[in-house]
Amino acid sequence: MKFQSICMAASLVAAGAVASPVKAHDRPPTYLFTFGDSYSMTSFDISGEQPAPGDAMGNPALGLYRQYSDLHILGTGTTGGGINWIGDLTTAENETLILTYNLAVGGATIDNQILNAGVEDMTTQVATFLSTYGDKPGIAPWASDNTVFGFWIGINDVGWAYSSQNATTLVPVLMAQYKSLVEQIYAKGGRNFLFLNVPPTSRSPYILESGLAASRQHAAWLTVFNEYLKLMILGFQDEHPEVKTVLYNSWNFMTQILDNPTKYHYPNSTCIDTDGTTCIWWNSYHPGLRYHALQAADMKGHLEPFGAW
């Protein structure tokens, strides 16, 4: 299936970029645990080097090349030609030391029991967090007041479902599972939660290749997903008034760039360039590293409630 092939390929291939050094700060670190799909993945291995001062994302080394033995290719473990928004928030846009444990997996959906993408879903990612880091081990001695949990998921859920499933029937099921995962982290002590909604991937070259009707159908499904996500977060906040939640509107931010690409020094809204900087798109479904840097810089102004940015 075409959708599966592009997600899986993009989860493995990326080019390198030089990282900015982690800033020196006097304040204690902030712990950041992230979950999601290829828009977030950095190919972090929980069995490898753990985040620490001077190596804030642990493994793989940020911006350095990594060998994928199965395909005999080199990559950074991201899908944008280099550092993505998580790396930027960890090493460039931060105001204090951030130690980031990124469990995102390319191609992931919320739960394979609902929409099976054939890769590790976010439900498994959260289970990995709970079993590896949930009890605040020495490798990640996080606390409720110094830790942020970030989620960017839904791109593949929409991609798998928009042409064959009814959004108003399926999205509530997805959101119920999404909320249950957030609740599991809350039960372990999580109190700071960052959510990103689904960007306008309906306007990606990949979806546009299917025609205008498909793009509109995709956009309608995506809109329902984002509306229910907002309602889920509001419900979670109402049930737990002591938590801090931020919903970052990636749909709005990417739309601004797609609507006026020349303002951001892109030639147009649909070109592709694997250098990650010339065009918005690194491949037909993933934006490049410069887009990620622009988004991270914009996100910084929304993350003030968490204190680390």
Least-confidence region, from 15-29, 72-86, 99-113, 232-246: 15-29
The reported pLDDT for the residue numbered 63 is 59
User: Tens digits of per-residue pLDDT, 287-296?
Assistant: 999 999 999 9
The reported pLDDT for the residue numbered 26 is 65
Q: Is 295 helix (H, G, I), strand (E, B) or coil?
A: helix
The pLDDT of residue 162 is above 60: yes
The pLDDT of residue 182 is above 60: yes
Question: What gap in Å lies between CA 155 and CA 291, rounded to an integer?
Answer: 17
Domain that holds residue 176: 2-306
HSE (side-chain half, CA atoms, 13 Å) at 170: 19
Can you give 107-160 as a three-state secondary structure string?
CCCCCCCCCCCCCCCHHHHHHHHHHHCCCCCCCCCCCHHHEEEEEECCHHHHHH
Least-confidence region, from 24-33, 35-44, 101-110: 24-33
Cα dist from 187 to 111, 286, 296, whole Å: 20, 34, 29
- Spatial CA neighbour of 14 closest among 78, 87, 68: 78
CA dihedral for 196, 126, 57, 244, sign (positive or negative): positive
Mean pLDDT value of segment 164-193? 98
The reported pLDDT for the residue numbered 10 is 38
Mean pLDDT value of segment 44-73? 74
The pLDDT of residue 178 is above 70: yes
Mean pLDDT of the chain, nearest integer: 90
Q: How many CB atoms lie within 10 A of CB 101?
A: 23
Question: What gap in Å lies between CA 96 and CA 94, rounded to an integer?
Answer: 6
The reported pLDDT for the residue numbered 302 is 98
Mean pLDDT value of segment 131-158? 98
Query: Residues 16-32, buried b or exposed e (16+ Cβ, 10 A)?
Result: bbebbebeeeeeebbbb
Q: How many CB atoms lie within 10 A of CB 132?
A: 15
Mean pLDDT value of segment 60-75? 49
What is the Cα 71 distance to its own chain's centre? 24
User: Tens digits of per-residue pLDDT, 212-244?
Assistant: 999 999 999 999 999 999 999 999 999 999 999
Number of domain units in the chain: 1
Helices (H), the chain: 2-10, 85-91, 122-132, 155-161, 167-187, 205-208, 212-239, 250-259, 289-300
pLDDT band at 300 (very low <50, low <70, confident <90, very high): very high
Q: Which comes out higher in pLDDT, residue 60 or 12?
A: 60
Reported pTM: 0.90
The reported pLDDT for the residue numbered 21 is 44
The pLDDT of residue 164 is above 80: yes
Question: What gap in Å lies between CA 251 and CA 306, rounded to an integer?
Answer: 22
The reported pLDDT for the residue numbered 25 is 54
CATH number where 264 lies:
3.40.50.1110
The reported pLDDT for the residue numbered 76 is 66
Q: Which amino acid is at 306?
A: F
User: Tens digits of per-residue pLDDT, 2-34?
Assistant: 344 334 333 333 333 334 444 445 678 999 999
Whole-number percent of the chain with pLDDT over 90: 85
Query: Is the distance from CB of 195 to CB of 236 less than 8 angstroms?
Result: no
